[in-house]
Amino acid sequence: MSLLEVDGLTVRTSDGRTLLDGVTWDVAAGARLGIIGESGSGKSMTALAVLGLLPAGMRATGHVRLDGTDLLALPPRRMDAVRGAQVAMVFQEPLTALDPLMTVGRQISGPVRLHQRLSRTAAREEAARLLRLVQIDDTERVLGSYPWQLSGGQRQRVSLAMALACRPRVLLADEPTTALDVTVQAEVLELLDDVVERTGLALVLVTHDLPVVARVAQDLVVMRDGAVVERTTVPRALAGDGAAYTRELVDAARAVTALPTPEAR
Amino acid sequence: MARHLLTRSLLTRVASLLVSLALAAVVVFVVLRLLPGDAAGASLGVGTTSDQLEGLRAELGTDQPVPVQLGQWVAGLVQGDLGTSFVSRQPVADLVAARLPVTLPLSLAAFVLAVLVSVPLGVAAAVWRRGPLGVVVSALSQLGVAVPVFWVGVLLVLVLALQLGWLPPGGFPRQGWGDPAAAVRALVLPVVTVAIAMSAVMVRYVRSATLDVLDQDYVRTARSLGYGRWAALRRHGLRNGAAPVVAILGIELATSLLGAVVIENVFALPGLGTLLLDSVEARDLPVVQALVLGLTAVVLVVNVGVDLAQRALDPRLRLTGGAR
């Protein structure tokens, strides 16, 4: 049974341009879905539309069902309660996604207290636990730091800890490794993998980077120009079965990086 | 280490403040001596002999070379002596002290009122930028900025004082604050006038600072974690929006004093502004230079205060000694 079902999701601007056209996919609890496409293909917009956080002047139609409840039909207040607690998101650039004037401790314990009635100290302890979950060891120092005092990799771990703060069932990760150096990328991907393993949440990984998807995801949605080209699996895509556009993406990625062959997985 | 940097930057600020003040003193003094006319001529009027003029000039000390006069003035300032009026022969400090009970409440009340009006309006105009409120606030603020402050004062006097008779059109009770009700009534229209002019400017800055925060990724992050629109703005906007707004508040605090100086003349209030104009007319240079230097000092001190407030708000300035 799928946990999150995106069904015919369409986004239009107020002047009538169609940005997303009938996007349909679903993801089950504990599963990892990759959404891949070039920039401008609408993959990030899909994630924002699922969360109901489209920029002003854009309207989403269709259905986004979480356990059967249509999120697009929810009144704003009920949707606020879904965000963070049911569906959370990790953004591409952790430096701007975190508030520069707020310590990490307050940034993580805030959402913890928002959804769970916890005391200040209990929320702080929960924040420390979350930091350990994302493999940050010197929790006390990091909790007292401002985001700009941390390294890029640490910042993205902190973002992930924030997103996990309210124990969401679905985690949308929008290019979570694009702003990081290659070695740190690998660590963060491993961490995402580990978090899914441990928490059993459904991961939706949005990226332009095929090797990144290949490392983490099983199911694959290929997007182009605001529409889904095909729904497939990572092994099938790597084996060259399926749509011509998917093969193009795979070949292009093979030309610059060593992609695992289907047998090696 | 952070504390050490803070102390050092505070000392640097105070030192540069003193240098600026000294420069301002020299400039004010020299520029005023370049003006045509002098106190002796102004007070004796037409048809006086040059002997009389020379006598009065010797008495006032204006026959001395300018550098000597400057030295005497600065020596007095350092000892806390603002000088003596050429006209009334009273200490300048006493003249200023007599006028402060009008100007100080006027400018402070106008400032507070302007903050109370412009901060909520500016935030609301940003949040509902496409709604009717946003449009109306922007239009009113454009209008308020375009219209000169004294014209607003004249308009208010015409309607609220002369036509409706709700408030006095000008003047200040003879007993001053000895008659508090009358003193307050006398200040209402001037305060509102200055506050309108200030709010028009401030609301724009508050609006744009809020818009800036609303566009930030961290506000979207907060929304993605379940904070509502207002909750996200409160959580991240207060500090992030405060830094630019504090800078404007500082400028506007100084402006409120200047606005009071202008508007006192519209409402015939016995404050620093009327004292300044009267003294200029009489070429009462000690009074003029003390007032101009005093206003300069207020602006400089407010700037240092703004700087310290921004450091307190933004840890990046505090912990890295200013460099990002």
Which chain A residues touch B if contact means CB-CB below 8 Å? Answer: 51, 53, 56, 76-77, 80-85, 88-89, 91, 93, 96-102, 110-111, 114-115, 146, 148-149, 159, 162-163, 165-166
Q: Which residues of A touch B313 (CB under 8 A)?
A: 101
Sheet holding A202-207, edge to edge: A87-90, A170-174, A202-207, A32-36, A219-224, A227-233
- Are residues A114 and B225, on separate chains, in Cβ contact within 8 Å? yes
Q: What is the pLDDT of residue A202?
A: 94
Listing DSSP states for B276-320 in one string gives: HHHHHHTT-HHHHHHHHHHHHHHHHHHHHHHHHHHHHH-HHHHHT
CA distance A107 to B184: 47
pLDDT in tens, B130-179: 888 888 988 888 888 888 888 888 888 888 888 888 888 888 888 888 88
What integer pLDDT is reported at residue B265 of this predicted model? Answer: 87
In this complex, the residue of B221, B314, B315 whose CB is nearest that of residue A97 is B221
Banded model confidence at residue B1, pLDDT cuts 50, 70, 90: very low
Q: For residues A190-215, give the mean pLDDT.
A: 90
| Residue type (1 letter), B87 | V
Report the distance separating Cα A86 and Cα A129, nearest Å.
20
With a cut of 80, say whether residue B311 has pLDDT above it: yes
Predicted local distance difference test score (pLDDT) of residue B3? 60
Phi, psi torsion values for A260, nearest 5 degrees: -60, 140
List Cβ neighbours of A6 (8 Å cut-off, separation of 6 or more). A23, A24, A25, A26, A46, A50, A62, A63, A64, A65
Closest partner residue to B236 (CB to CB) among A93, A99, A115 is A99
Contact A143, A128 (CB under 8 A): yes
Identify which of B223, B314, B315 has the shortest CB distance to residue A53: B223
Nearest beta carbon to residue A114 from set B226, B240, B319:
B226
Nearest CA-CA distance, residue B214 and chain A, Å: 11
- On the question of pLDDT at A262 being above 70, the answer is no
Q: Evaluate if residue A79 carries a pLDDT over 90.
A: yes
Interchain CB contacts (distance < 8 Å): A and B: 80
Domain count, chain A: 1
In sequence order, which residues have a C-beta less than 8 Å from that of residue B284 and are 6 or more positions away? Answer: B39, B85, B86, B87, B278
Cα torsion B70, B104, B123, B312: sign: positive
For residue A261, the 8-state DSSP code is: P
A159 with A107: CB under 8 angstroms?
no
Mean pLDDT for chain B overall: 86
Q: Which domains does chain B have, with CATH numbers?
A: 1-87+285-324 (no CATH), 92-281 (1.10.3720.10)
pLDDT at B321: 47
pLDDT at position B324: 38
- Closest CA of chain B from A53, distance in Å: 8
pLDDT score at B4: 63
- pLDDT above 90: percentage of residues in chain B: 31
Q: Do B221 and A88 touch (CB under 8 A)?
A: no
- Residue B20: how many other CB atoms lie within 10 Å: 16
Non-local CB neighbours of A143 within 8 Å, separated by 6+ positions = A103, A104, A105, A108, A124, A127, A128, A131
User: How would residue B52 be classed by pLDDT, with cut points 50, 70 and 90?
Assistant: confident
CB A91 to CB B316 under 8 A? no
- Residue A101 to residue B314, Cβ atoms within 8 A: yes
CA distance A165 to chain B (A): 9
More confident residue, B192 or B256: B192
Using the structure block, give the residue that is written with the tokens 């809020």: B210
B246: closest CA of chain A, how far (Å) = 15
Strands A170-174 and A87-90: parallel
Of A174 and B6, more confident? A174
Residue A259 has pLDDT above 70, yes or no: no
Q: Measured between beta carbons, which residues in chain B are less than 8 angstroms from residue A110?
A: 222, 225, 235
Dist. CA A241–CA A260, nearest whole Å:
15
pLDDT digits (tens, 9 = 90+) for A132-191: 988 888 999 999 999 999 998 899 999 999 999 888 999 999 998 888 888 888 888 888
Q: Considering just the CA atoms, what is the radius of gyration of chain A in Å?
A: 18
Q: A265 pLDDT band (50/70/90 cuts)?
A: very low
Q: Does the beta-carbon distance from B218 to A83 stay under 8 Å?
A: no
- Closest CA relative to residue B233, chosen from B251, B250, B212, B248: B212
For residue B169, what are the β-bridge partners?
Answer: none
Mutate to test the interface with B, among A50, A91, A99, A158 (most CBs of B within 10 A): A99
Write down the pLDDT at residue B2.
54
Residues of A in contact with B222 (CB under 8 A): 99, 110
Element at B38 (helix H, strand E) = none
d(CA B67, CA B4) in angstroms, rounded, equals 41
- Measured at the alpha carbon of residue A75, what is the angle toward residues A70 and A77, in degrees to the nearest 5? 120
Domain carrying residue A249: 2-264
Using DSSP's 3-state secondary structure scheme, residue A98 falls into coil
Q: B130 is written with which tokens?
A: 């496409």
Q: How confident is the model at residue A252 (pLDDT cuts 50, 70, 90)?
A: confident
Q: Do B240 and A114 touch (CB under 8 A)?
A: no
The predicted complex's ipTM stands at 0.88
What pLDDT, on the 0 to 100 scale, is given for residue A129?
A: 92
- Give the whole-angstrom CA distance, residue A147 versus residue A103: 7
User: Nearest CA to CA, how far is B324 from chain A (Å)?
Assistant: 10
Tell me which H or E stretch contains A142.
helix A139-143
- Averaged pLDDT, B263-279: 90
Residue to test with chain A: of B221, B320, B324, most A Cβ within 10 A: B221
* Cβ <8 Å between A111 and B227: yes
Q: Which amino acid is at B224?
A: S
CATH number at residue A100: 3.40.50.300
Partner-chain contact A83 B236, CB within 8 Å:
no
- Give A235→chain B minimum CA distance, Å: 32
Using alpha carbons, select from B237, B232, B122 the residue that is nearest to residue A53: B232
- Please provide the DSSP assignment of B172-235 as one string: --TTGGGSHHHHHHHHHHHHHHHHHHHHHHHHHHHHHHHHHHHTSHHHHHHHHTT--HHHHHHH
Q: Which of A116-120, A252-256, B30-34, B211-215 ranks highest by mean pLDDT?
A: B211-215
Span B219-235, average pLDDT = 92
Residue A201: the pLDDT is 93
User: How many CB atoms neighbour CB A120 within 10 A?
Assistant: 9
- What is the per-residue pLDDT for B33? 83
Q: Give me the residue from B226, B228, B239 closest to A166, CB to CB.
A: B226
Q: What is the mean pLDDT of residues B120-130?
A: 90
Site of tokens 């207290």: A113
Flag whether pLDDT at A50 surpasses 60. Answer: yes
Task: For residue A172, list its beta bridge partners.
Answer: A89, A204
Nearest neighbour of A80 by CB, restricted to B220, B228, B315? B228
Q: Which residue would you say has higher pLDDT here, A46 or B32?
A: A46
Q: Which amino acid is at B25?
A: A
- CA torsion through residues B153, B158, B160, B166, sign: positive
B contacts of A56 (beta carbons < 8 Å): 130
The shortest CB-CB distance from A165 to any of B225, B239, B314 is to B225
Percent of chain A topping pLDDT 90: 60
